[in-house]
């Protein structure tokens, strides 16, 4: 069996994820497609991930793709997580993941309505969604609060998990809006605040064209292998949230080829993707929490030393801001309240690496400007650095 060692995997990561300076992109869409999907749960993460890979980083460049030409869209999809993808990739993400997530969200909400013991039911939800869409069409864009003011039904409260320790009273507005977004009938527009804000306005959207799920999974598997391969079946299963059968069927349909990894495990690459990658120039990167290059695999042993995990992950398994050197995670970084970027190396990488890291920190500070970034999921090292 053809073997691809860890050094080759790190070289592939630096080139295919556009992290080496010579590989940086001019287009936000190019960046999104290079990593297939960008984590968007934390608003700042999206901008930080994109700009780390742009030759000319800037907030306005990302804003233009999200809100003007709308070449990037946010979808609740893999692992029931919010991702941002290009409009080219969106129909495949929708069919392979987002449709199932939307259906599950709707079933769960209808279950809560039934358990509440009142007269709310599926016809009520249908009418409330219709009224919400009508109110949004009149305004063009609106916040959740503005929609609630316009649609009385959105001000309804229900009791969830009645009779249990988790019993609580919730408003329905956020749940109804979440369902409309999951169905692709509305989308997030510009936030109320700056680019680091997660309080979005909403605007109408057109659902994605119907795509056959199995074919969409094949396309997603092929794109993922080109960006993250070699990787294991377990890696793809975890990243997508698919079942074992769906994952294996997608790998087979994509024509994935087996390779041997340094760990002894069987990995998979896209068809014909066996040639060695030429070496890259030395490179450093400061990547945000939940960056795709850190979250692309369930087994990160080829780029993340086991001893670094406790400092860089929270208890739920979310990785925080990381410092990279030549394809490996060597430390973490944070921004203090006064705006200073600070980092700590967890690996001994030498003076040359330190100079590259300092240059990247300066590059990051230059475009971030006056913004203050606090990761949504805070890790031990990030907290320590900001104390």
For 101-111, write each residue's pLDDT tens digit.
999 999 999 99
End-to-end CA distance of the chain: 50
* Distance (Å, whole) CA 140 – CA 203: 6
For position 269, what pLDDT does the model report?
98
Helix (H) or strand (E) holding 189: strand 186-191
Name the residue ranges covered by the structural domains of the chain: 90-204
Query: At CA 247, angle to CA 179 and CA 239, rounded to 5?
Result: 60
Coil, strand or helix at 338: coil
Q: Which residue stretches of the chain have pLDDT < 70? A: 118
Reference 276, options 9, 21, 1; nearest CA is 9
Query: What is the pTM (predicted TM-score) of this model?
Result: 0.94
* Distance (Å, whole) CA 83 – CA 76: 6
* Contacts for 262-266: CB closer than 8 Å, 24+ residues apart: 262/3, 262/5, 262/6, 262/302, 263/299, 263/301, 263/302, 265/232, 265/299, 266/1, 266/232, 266/233
For position 161, what pLDDT does the model report?
87
Burial per residue of 145-168, b for 16 or more beta-carbon CB atoms within 10 angstroms, e otherwise: eebbebbebbebebebeeeeeeee
* Distance (Å, whole) CA 292 – CA 175: 27
The CA distances from residue 216 to 185, 195, 324, in Å, are: 20, 31, 33
For position 26, what pLDDT does the model report?
97
Coil, strand or helix at 316: coil
Strands 82-86 and 38-39, bridge-based pairing: antiparallel
């Amino acid at each position: 069996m053809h073997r691809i060692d860890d050094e080759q995997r790190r070289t592939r990561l630096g080139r295919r994820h556009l992290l080496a300076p010579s590989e940086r992109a001019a287009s936000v869409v190019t960046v999104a497609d290079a990593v297939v999907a960008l984590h968007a749960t934390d608003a700042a993460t999206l901008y930080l991930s994109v700009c780390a890979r742009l030759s000319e980083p800037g907030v306005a460049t990302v804003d233009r793709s999200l809100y003007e030409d709308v070449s990037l869209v946010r979808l609740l999809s893999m692992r029931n997580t919010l991702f941002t993808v290009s409009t080219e990739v969106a129909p495949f993400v929708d069919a392979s993941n987002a449709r199932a997530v939307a259906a599950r969200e709707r079933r769960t909400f209808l279950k809560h309505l039934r358990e509440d013991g009142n007269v709310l039911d599926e016809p009520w939800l249908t009418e409330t969604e219709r009224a919400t869409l009508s109110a949004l069409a009149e305004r063009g864009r609106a916040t959740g609060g503005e929609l609630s003011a316009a649609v009385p039904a959105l001000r309804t409260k229900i009791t969830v998990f009645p009779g249990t320790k988790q019993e609580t009273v919730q408003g329905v507005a956020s749940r109804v809006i979440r369902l409309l977004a999951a169905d692709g009938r509305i989308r997030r527009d510009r936030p109320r605040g700056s680019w680091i804000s997660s309080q979005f306005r909403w605007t109408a959207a057109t659902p994605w064209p119907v795509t056959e799920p199995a074919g969409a999974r094949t396309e997603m598997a092929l794109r993922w292998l080109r960006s993250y391969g070699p990787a294991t079946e377990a890696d793809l299963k975890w990243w997508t949230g698919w079942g074992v059968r769906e994952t294996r069927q997608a790998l087979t349909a994509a024509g994935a080829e087996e390779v041997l990894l340094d760990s002894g495990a069987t990995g998979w690459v896209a068809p014909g993707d066996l040639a060695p990658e030429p070496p890259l120039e030395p490179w450093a990167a400061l990547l945000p929490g939940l960056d795709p290059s850190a979250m692309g695999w369930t087994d990160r042993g080829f780029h993340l030393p086991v001893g670094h995990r406790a400092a860089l992950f929270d208890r739920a398994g979310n990785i925080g801001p990381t410092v990279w050197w030549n394809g490996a995670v060597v430390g973490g970084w944070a921004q203090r309240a006064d705006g200073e970027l600070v980092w700590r190396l967890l690996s001994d990488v030498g003076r040359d690496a330190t100079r590259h890291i300092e240059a990247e920190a300066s590059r990051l500070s230059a475009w971030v400007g006056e913004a203050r970034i606090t990761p949504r999921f805070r890790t031990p090292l990030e907290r320590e650095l900001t104390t």
